[in-house]
Structure formats: C-alpha cells, structure tokens
Structure 1
Amino acid sequence: MRACRWWWVVFACGFALAGWAAAADPATHRGYEYYRIGDTQAARPGQTAPALMLMGGGSWVDPAFHWFVAQAGHGHVVILRASGADEMQDELYRRIGGVASVQTLVFHDRAAASDPAVLDIVRHADGIFIAGGDQANYVCFWKGTPLNELMDRHVREGKPIGGTSAGLAILGGYAYGALDGGSIVSPEATHDPLGSAVTLVDGFLHVPWLAQVITDTHFAARGRLGRLIAFVARLRHEGHAQVVGLGVDEATVLAIGGDGIGRIFTRDHGFAWLVQPEGTPQRIAPGQPLEYRDVRLTGIGPDSRIDMRDLGVQRPAFQVTADVRDGRLVVHGDLPTEDR
C-alpha cells in the first residue's frame, strides 16, 4: 500500500487551493512572486557538489550556510517558498555572502509550477533551498509538476539541495504532508497512527540517502519524538519495512556530503535523532492506540558522524530505546533534555 494515494492528495489539496484563491490578491494573478539580488548572469566561480542541508527550523546556523554556498560553487542559489517574501534571500546574499546571486520564487498556486519563466530560473540554479512555511502547500503546488521533475533533475546532476522546517519535511522519501490543515502532535499521532490526520506522502522528491527516510523538524522543542515513531509505525505497517525516522532540532543542521557522510552544525546544542524500530508494531489498527516496543534512538551531535549508506553513527551523542505502550511514549535512558 502506498503511504499516500494520489486521490487523497488531490482531495486535500482541493480544499487548500480553494481557500487560498478566496484570499488571493489580484496582483498575484500569475501565481507567483519573483525576487532577485546579485548578478544572475555572472559565471559561477566554482564547481557544484552533491549535498543535502537538513535544517530543523529556527535560527540560522551560519557555518552550515557557508558550507552550502561552497557546495553550490559560490554561484546562483534559488529559494523556493509558498509564503513570505525576500527576507531570506537578503540574509543569504548580504550577511552570509559568497554567492553570485540569490533568487526567490514564492508560489501561490499549482499553475506556477509549470510556468516557463519559473522553470527557467530553477533549471539554472546551482543550489536550491526550500524555506519554511506549510508543507501542505508544497505538496499541493509542486508534487507531480514540471517543477517537481526539475528539482529531481537538479539532484541527479550533483547539485546541492536543502530545506528548513517545512522545506526539510518534504525532502525525505516519505513526508508528513499536513494535508488536513493542521499539524498533528505526538499524543494524537500515537493514539491513532492510522487516523485521517496522519497524512503521509511518498513519491515526491527523490533525494540520495533519504529514499527510506521520513524526516521531522523542530524536533525536541515541539516534542515530536512520539509522532515520528507513529509515522514510521504506519509506514512499516503499510509494507515499507526499511523506513526509519530522522528528526532535526531547531537551530541545527545535518549536512550530508556526496559521500553520504553527515555531520551536525548547531548553535543551540541541538541534535539529529535517528529513529530505528525493530520490525513492525505489536499493535496498529484504526482508532486504536499504538503499541510499539524497542524503538532505538540514536543522537547525532557535533562530534558524531552518520554514514547514510548504512545508518551507522560514529561517536553518538546518546543511544537509548523507547516504547509506545497503549499510545503513551516511554523512553528508557537519559536524553539531553527531559521534555521530549
């Protein structure tokens, strides 16, 4: 069974698009806004390299952005988003620096993802970064479009891609789409992991090293361990036996190079969390609380390295196990903070 049938995406996105259209400013009739800074025609100074920048949201981690810019050959970065304006663009160009140009595309409907001008901008990007916001808009506006195909081609060509918050949420082979208009919290997810609020999507982006991964963001700050375990439980129940979870804390970046080795940049003692259950859940049924035992949790900190080829972690920040018992999360061992 697929994690998210396309008819459900169309049904859910229909409501989202109708709601946006009612509030749309007529001045944005073309379906997107475009901003740029720098010389978009300048030659790229260096060579691009394959890379993933997985940012959990919150404050910027400057060394991680310097790393990303270097992987983009100090060339032309394109920011994709569905809300906001050019604030991230200006921050990247003026404060981080080291890029020839930064361009921003703010999408307001699905048609913009087929616009020739939009596609030309993305086609020539040396690096793509997906901003935060509402990942339901990204699914509704981009999935299955020419833009979606171009994003995959960008990755196949060995160019870097990254995202923060909602932008990270859609980078995994599986994603929480938030297509019901909300953002499910851990107790709700563990008490009904097969419920309609757990809207999981697959077949969106095809990013190396993340094919069997579902990501989550703002991880410790918003207590999302329980819901990520619930997401993995549902996917494994539906036949995706190798799926694991990867959560990233706020003000923290997991930077993965072309060799599959990932390291942490953080400004607030954050971690990436690798969630690896054993087998399938002991109990998962419609309307029933989850029962899942012996879920392995591995913390990836600044001194750690993760090899995405086999998910091996060198010098883990912590290693504990967790159970979900009758829908309630129980962690065995000490975590860096108590409110997870």
Structure 2
Amino acid sequence: MKKLLFIVLLICSYTAIAQNTPYTSYFTGNATDKVVTPNFGITMMGGRTEHTEAMQWFINKANGGDVLVLRASGSDGYNNYLFNELGIEVNSVESIVVKTAEAANHPYVIKKIQQAEAIWLAGGDQYNYISVWGNSPMKQALQDHISVKKGAIGGTSAGMAVLGEWYFSAKNGSVTSEEALKNPYDERVQLGNNFLQVPFLQNTITDTHYADRNRQGRHATFMARITHQTEQPAFGIACDEYTAVCIGSNGIAHIFGRKAEMDNAIYFIKTQGTQPEQISKDQPLTWNHNNSALLIYKVITDRSGSAMFNLKDWQTANGGQWVNWYVKKGQWFEVEQKD
C-alpha cells in the first residue's frame, strides 16, 4: 500500500494541476517548498530557442531550490526542459499562466513567487505583462524577489523586454525601424518605465529578435525619446535570436550564442551625452553628432560565454568591437568607431 501511494504521489508531481481558478498551473518535481538561499543573477535571451549554456547558468542560481516560470499564454513547455534536460538538480519547476488581473491578485500566485529561488518570464506579448501584471500584488512580489530576496530573474523575448527600467510596451502593436525612424512619436512607439527595477538596468531599454528583424533603428529611436524626455544618458541592451546575456551580482555580463561564424550578436548601446538634433512628431529623426551619436559594443557570440561587458562602468569589455551608430533624416547608419 505504501509503495502504491508513493507511485501515485510521484505521478501527480509530474502532472498539470487541473484547477477551477483564474490561473493555470503546471507542476513538475517535489511539491514541498525547499528553502535555500539563491544567488542573484539576470539572464536575458533574444528569442527563438533557449540557449542551453545560458539557461544552465541561470538555473544554477536557484541553488537547488524552486524555479517558477510566469507567462500570459502557453502551457508547460519549459517544465521538462528545466527539470530534466539541463543536467542541474532543482527541487521543482512550476509554470503559471496569468492572463487576468484576478489571477495577478491571487494568493497562490503571490505565494509561489515568494517561494521561488529563480523566476523566468516567458515570451509572448509584453503588453499582457505590463497591462495585467502591472500595479498588482504580483508585480510587487516580483520586485521583492529581485530586491529583497535577491533571487535570480530572467526572460526571453517579451520576458526580456520588460526587465529594463524602460520598455517598449507594444500597446498599439509592434513597430518597425522604418516606421519609428520616420516618426519617433508614431502612436505605435509606446514607451514606459519602472515595470520592474532590476540592478544594472537603470535607464536601460532592451530589445530582442534584433538583427533578425532589423530593429537597430527603432531601438535608437527609443533611446532618442528617452534621452530627449529625461535629459539624461540612456542605455540599451539587445540580443539577436539564439543569444543570451547573463549578468552576475558583480555587474559583469557574460555573452552566449551559437558559433561565431553564424554572425549572431549582443549589443551594449550608450548615448554620447548629446540630444537628437531633430525629434518631433511626424518628422524623421536626426541624431547625428559627427556620425557618433551612439556608442555600441557589439559582440559576435559563441557558446563559451568568454566575452564579457562590465555594466558598472559601461566601458570595460572584451571579445567584441566598438562601433558608432547615428541617424540622419530617418536613416540609420553603423560605422566603425573613429580612433
């Protein structure tokens, strides 16, 4: 009888939890919360397939504890991958789908965020996160996970898009570089800030699916808007698909991707302390300043994670190349940095 009970419990731990609740939970592993001290870290991925070495780096930060995947769509796609396929032991992996404000206020969801050692934000539509999770107990619990518990936080695609202090909300749908550069105040260029406050990402806006969808120009436009509004320097971090940035508690970012010859990259972008020469509604953006408005450290990635960038000084780096970007009459340009 005891053996039968053990088998039943084991099977249940790997089964989606059927519920008449405003959220949906899929649970894998040990249902008893494991209380351990996590190690802080941030992992950001550019979309498409998750990067194995970067995800192993992230899961290690849970220190054998509990991993929580939060999403507004989808189901249990991460559970088996994170629990069984990475070769790193964790106590549990739970995916919770939170689609409504009622779910974002639910005590079960808040409790699970509080118990997690590592939290992953899945891809999808970031406006669902901002509009549904924002101004909710769920959002505060996420912030406490980062600031108080100092647990690991990460995300891919839309999940990466909301980790910077500033974000592109996609409230009115996506926007292309051509559209944003032509009119920086196009109704689709919807920016916001302080969804979360994550160390080393202050005054930073991220972007994903980057060169794959030619998003450099729109990212430059986002940064022009932020610089113009705040009169402060702005920063950007961007990932091509299949790439990842892993940031430790010391502010050092390690860069992961595929083989270097596949030409996928990570971009660390900073303004040069200048204002755009032309930024207004229905007018093409100009941000030139002698062809050097933005300074970018561009790393063509490999799987080793050996390339690095220091987010404490935004200067110390290896494994990449400094280039300049500028915009002239709505056209985006990249040039090698002048000596």
TM over 0.5, shorter chain: yes
Task: Tell me whether 1:82 sits opposite 2:81 in the alignment.
Answer: no
Shift of 1:322: 1.7
Determine helix, strand or coil for the equivalent of 1:87. coil
**In structure 1, distance between residues paired with 2:306 and 2:277:** 35
Shift of 1:61: 1.3
Contact 2:309 2:318 (C-alpha < 8 Å) held by counterparts: no
Which amino acid is the alignment partner of residue 179 of structure 2? Answer: E
Structure 2: state its 5+ residue gaps: 1-17
Tell which structure's C-alpha radius of gyration is larger.
2
**In structure 1, distance between residues paired with 2:240 and 2:219:** 13
Determine helix, strand or coil for the equivalent of 1:292. coil
1:1-340 aligned within 5 A: 30-41=21-32, 43-44=34-35, 47-96=37-86, 97-156=88-147, 157-180=149-172, 182-269=173-260, 270-278=264-272, 279-293=274-288, 294=292, 295-300=294-299, 301=301, 302-333=305-336
RMSD of aligned Cα (Å): 1.7
Contact 1:247 1:273 (C-alpha < 8 Å) held by counterparts: yes
**In structure 1, distance between residues paired with 2:34 and 2:309:** 34
Which amino acid is the alignment partner of residue 284 of structure 1? Answer: I
**In structure 2, distance between residues paired with 1:40 and 1:292:** 54
Which amino acid is the alignment partner of residue 332 of structure 1? Answer: V
Contact 2:233 2:271 (C-alpha < 8 Å) held by counterparts: no
Contact 2:34 2:66 (C-alpha < 8 Å) held by counterparts: no
Determine helix, strand or coil for the equivalent of 2:212. coil
Shift of 1:310: 1.3
**In structure 2, distance between residues paired with 1:29 and 1:226:** 45
Determine helix, strand or coil for the equivalent of 1:238. helix
**In structure 1, distance between residues paired with 2:37 and 2:58:** 12
Shift of 1:268: 4.7
Contact 2:233 2:270 (C-alpha < 8 Å) held by counterparts: no
Contact 1:263 1:304 (C-alpha < 8 Å) held by counterparts: yes
Shift of 1:305: 1.5
Q: 1:42 to 1:136 in 2, by over 3 A?
A: closer
Shift of 1:74: 1.9
Shift of 1:332: 1.5
Shift of 1:42: 5.1
Q: 1:177 to 1:268 in 2, by over 3 A?
A: farther
Shift of 1:112: 0.9
Which amino acid is the alignment partner of residue 82 of structure 2? Answer: L
Shift of 1:129: 0.3
Report how many residues are paired: 306
**In structure 2, distance between residues paired with 1:143 and 1:28:** 24
